[in-house]
Structure 1
Amino acid sequence: MHQCVSYFNALKRWPLFASVLILSLLPSHAFAQFPSVISHPLPGGGQSWSLPVQTLIFITALGFIPAVLLMMTSFTRIIIVLGLLRNALGTPSAPPNQVVLGLALFMTFFIMAPVFDKIYQDAYLPFSEDKITFEQALDNGSQPLRQFMMQQTRETDLALFARLADAPAFETRDSVPMRILVPAYITSELKTAFSNWFYDFYPFSHHRLSGCQRLDGTRYDDGATRHRFTAF
């Protein structure tokens, strides 16, 4: 019950820190080029952006939520596995696409709830209370997301995209930039999803196909029998 409450609280807080998730991809020094939008100093030092600029950034970031959902969470792996499982069971239209999509979304929010909570606590709350600057909020908000993606990313995929980008050797995994980590993470998620299908769900399809071939060789085959065998 406690996990469900935490999950729905994360759902309600999602719009609040969506802009932090999006803008964490950008280098922090890029925001230092606009001194005219800085409004007031913070108590602990530094300065914060004006409210109209923050509102504009938030509204702009809302348009990138689908991309973040697809690229930087577990949604891609879940939706592929559910779709392949449905086909492996021989029921390509049950459950319908809307149900599969809804299951993938809610499972994604459930899995990512700890990450979203940490971003909310470490980045959005201090920034909304003017305790940290916008650049610090971006850095704090990107760390939980980076840690989650790094745990799911293969080192071979990181090395591949680092080589494609002509990037120098990284001393630690924490020094990998987002422009390399995100595509490497997506590639690893695709590999993992299809690997799960091959090892776990392929036997369903193989046995179903073998059964249909055996039925084709008997004289007692009829359409109804073949349909039942194919479905189960």
Structure 2
Amino acid sequence: MILRLIFGFSFAVALLNPSLSAAQELSISLGDEGSISARTVQLFALVTVLSLVPGLAIMVTCFPFLVTVLSILRQAIGLQQSPPNMLIVSLALFLTYFIMEPVFTTAWVDGVGPLTRNEIDVERAFSLALEPFRSFMAGRLDPDTFYAMAELRPDIEAVDPTPDAPLSVLVPSFMLSEISRAFQIGFLIYLPFLIIDLVVAAILMSMGMMMVPPAVVALPFKLAFFVVADGWALIAGSLVRSYF
């Protein structure tokens, strides 16, 4: 199942599958005009697709939203390096896989699977594999952000925020909408921890302890509050439910 999370890798490998017989002929006869250059282009295409897989996983999934919220949560608690960045990114990746699994499955079944079985060509497979991601992005983006991005492209006619919109407008609109929504949720997450900071600062000021940093005293209380409230489960559950 994890292979579906990086289905782009298998998709790229599948690009070369229909040409295996041509490769065998090439090994027998190198005099075929254009065959060597065709294989070179395919090799460069494979390397390019593999290098773009991590970026594609970030651009067309919920990963930007999740990792932004988790990073804001760490800042709100007052911890600089705990949890470490690797742990936050790993948690965001697995939550992304949990949320996006139906989309990955649909893309694999409709696009990559038939391509590996030589039932459809590459262009048709790419279009079918991209349709679930188009629907996912169109259902999450902010219409105002979409129209604002579309206005920046005078060469594009009037389009609506639908799955059929051009990817050059759909993808950045989706990413900006996800980041904006993440900051909105981050503001709500910050509020209870800000109240704890204000209360601790007011108590220290009333006691005349002006030289004691309020952040140092408030940190244990914020950690205790977060643990008692089972904060990680609440945050993760709320983030996942926002997509269903």
Q: What TM bracket, shorter-length normalisation?
A: 0.7 to 0.9
Shift of residue 133, structure 1, vs aligned partner: 1.3
**Structure 2 CA distance, aligned partners of 1:73 and 1:19?**
22
- Counterpart of 1:110 in structure 2 is 98
How many correspondences in the alignment?
Answer: 198
Task: Name which structure has the greater RCO, CA cutoff 8 Å, separation 6+.
Answer: 1
For the 8 Å contact 1:212–1:229, the answer to whether it is kept is yes
Indicate the SS of the match to 1:63. Answer: helix
Indicate the SS of the match to 2:66. Answer: helix
**Structure 2 CA distance, aligned partners of 1:185 and 1:206?**
30
Structure 1 unmatched runs, 5+ = 1-5, 24-38, 40-49
Q: Is residue 17 from structure 1 mapped to residue 11 from structure 2 by the alignment?
A: yes
Q: Is residue 76 from structure 1 mapped to residue 64 from structure 2 by the alignment?
A: yes
Provide the TM-score with structure 2 as the length reference: 0.71
- Counterpart of 1:159 in structure 2 is 147
Q: Find 1:188's aligned residue among 177, 181, 202.
A: 177
**Which letter maps to 1:153?**
L
- Counterpart of 1:169 in structure 2 is 158
- Counterpart of 1:137 in structure 2 is 125
- Counterpart of 2:200 in structure 1 is 212
- How much is the aligned-residue C-alpha RMSD, in angstroms? 2.8
**Which letter maps to 1:17?**
F
Q: Is residue 230 from structure 1 mapped to residue 219 from structure 2 by the alignment?
A: yes
- Counterpart of 1:31 in structure 2 is none
Shift of residue 146, structure 1, vs aligned partner: 0.4
- Counterpart of 1:123 in structure 2 is 111
1:197-208 aligned within 5 A? 197-198=186-187, 200-208=188-196
Q: Is residue 150 from structure 1 mapped to residue 144 from structure 2 by the alignment?
A: no
Provide the TM-score with structure 1 as the length reference: 0.74
